Amino acid sequence: MAAIGVLTFTLQLDHARSLKDKRQVVRSLKDRLRSRYNVAVAEIDDQHLWQRGLIAAVTVGANRAIAEHTLQAVEKEAFATLGPMLVDVTWEWIE
């Protein structure tokens, strides 16, 4: 049975001084995750706040193990890219 995994990242961008600064970080992360892991990525909340962001990455796999492997790699990449700007990560499954 196919599994859908949703990984949600909460970002705290203390260095951002404008929405333009925030969007540069968010766009870079979204583009990197899309190209490297073939996941759907979107900013899902806090679009109007310039020092916070909420990003979701979604994948569909033939089973949960495949989807989980992909999302583990996505989480590792996001942490490597953002470091301390990544303040929270949540996982959700739709099976």
pLDDT tens per residue, range 38-92: 999 999 998 888 899 999 999 999 999 999 999 999 999 999 999 999 999 999 9
Tell me the residue range of the domain where 87 lies: 3-94
CATH number of the domain bearing residue 40: 3.30.70.1120
pLDDT tens string 15-40: 889 999 999 999 999 999 999 999 99
pTM of the model: 0.89
Domain count, the chain: 1
Q: Could you give the CA distance from residue 59 to residue 38 in angstroms, rounded to a whole number?
A: 8
CB 90 within 8 A of CB 8: yes
